Copies of this chain bind each other. A is one copy, B any other.
Amino acid sequence: MVSRRSRAVTISDVASLAGVSIATASKALNGKEDVRAETRQRVIEAAEELSFRPNALARGLLTGQTRTVGLLTSDSVGRFGIPVLLGAEDAFGAGEMAVMLCDARGDAIREQHYIRTLLSRRVDGLIVVGESTNTRPSISRDLPIPVVYAYGASNDPQDVSFVPDDVGGAALAVRHLLALGRRRIAHVTGPMDYKAAADRAQGLRITLEEAGVPQAGETLYGAWSQRWGRHAAEMLLMGQPEVDAVFCGSDQIAAGFVEAVRERGRRVPDDIAVIGYDNWDVFSIQTRPALTSVDMNLEILGRTAAQHLFAAIDGKATPGVHRLPCRLVIRDSTAS
């Protein structure tokens, strides 16, 4: 049990024990030149024995690099920030970076406060994770460190942003349905003011147009909930019984949809094929039948954003909004 009051061991202690100067100890431990192999070994053993951990504060103060990044999120309660955050954390962890987590809860004041704190702590860079794919105000201006936006893009095209390609994701889903021979495809999605909803609806429209297939009815906008999915299913089954496939804007909606369809005695996928979005396992593999779904590869997105933040820190910024491809996970709800 190390006493909590005992002064932490410094490189000076290591140097003493090894019988060398501080400078030599530093070089030995950092793999620098100009140290005899034998001396280096002695220093390393001394450090080991004292379980020496270099003081990152002192190092950072001197080098100007803290090997720390800030992760600014607006709403990490939300389901989508988390995987992005994890992917980023993963990439940073591999690069020996530490992550400071700040959740602004969608409050601009709080966000400003966090930015100040992070600057004070001299983080090397910043990742801003959106709460939705909607674009958000840029904070890059006047910040002395690079910033990368993930999930939701910055409104400044000069910034570096990484977002899922929802238009492409919808296209994947629709092409799959078309390939299965479905020709009466409807779309049920979330609130109209979500860019995610708009993008996916647009992807559907474009893809259907390319194939020369008309969309079955207008896109139905509602909430991102099972309740809305069920409600939409009832409306569709009543109003447009000819529909043979539905592309849902989220797995929650799709879960409600298939539940209602099943309840009405129609069968998925035989009568109606259903595709969800998000590939959220608590829904996609729990419904009857399991849902085919579009996966936004959010962990990869987070990781990519982190890697590009590294690059930006090294002065190699990659401005622009980068759209990362989605992936279709096929399950029983579209098995033909």
Instruction: Spell out A's residues near B (CB within 8 Å).
Output: 1-4, 6, 8, 53-58, 60-61, 66, 68, 71, 76-77, 82-83, 85-86, 89-90, 93, 96, 98-103, 110, 114, 116-122, 141-146, 225-227, 252, 256, 259, 263, 282, 286-287
In the complex where A57-B57, A77-B86, A101-B89 touch, is A117 in contact with B96 (Cβ < 8 A)?
Answer: yes
User: Nearest chain B CB to A253's CB is how many angstroms away?
Assistant: 11
Cα(A2)–Cα(B122), bound, Å: 15
In the complex where A86-B103, A103-B86 touch, is A61 in contact with B71 (Cβ < 8 A)?
Answer: no
User: Nearest chain B CB to A63's CB is how many angstroms away?
Assistant: 10
Residues of chain B within 8 A of A61, CB atoms compared = 55, 57-58, 61
Contact with A89, one of B4, B103, B143, B287 (Cβ below 8 angstroms): B103
Residues of chain B within 8 A of A86, CB atoms compared = 76-77, 103
Residues of chain B within 8 A of A60, CB atoms compared = 57
A2 closest partner in B (C-beta):
B144
Given contacts A71-B101, A85-B101, 20 further A-B contacts (CB under 8 A): A1-B141, A3-B144, A54-B120, A55-B61, A55-B120, A56-B121, A57-B58, A57-B121, A68-B100, A76-B86, A86-B103, A89-B103, A93-B102, A93-B114, A98-B102, A98-B121, A101-B101, A252-B282, A259-B259, A263-B263
A259 closest partner in B (C-beta):
B259
**Nearest 10 Cβ contacts at the A-B interface:** A101-B101, A226-B286, A56-B121, A57-B61, A53-B120, A57-B57, A57-B60, A56-B120, A2-B144, A99-B101
Residues of chain B within 8 A of A287, CB atoms compared = 226
In the complex where A76-B86, A83-B77, A144-B4 touch, is A100 in contact with B103 (Cβ < 8 A)?
Answer: no
Residues of chain B within 8 A of A259, CB atoms compared = 259
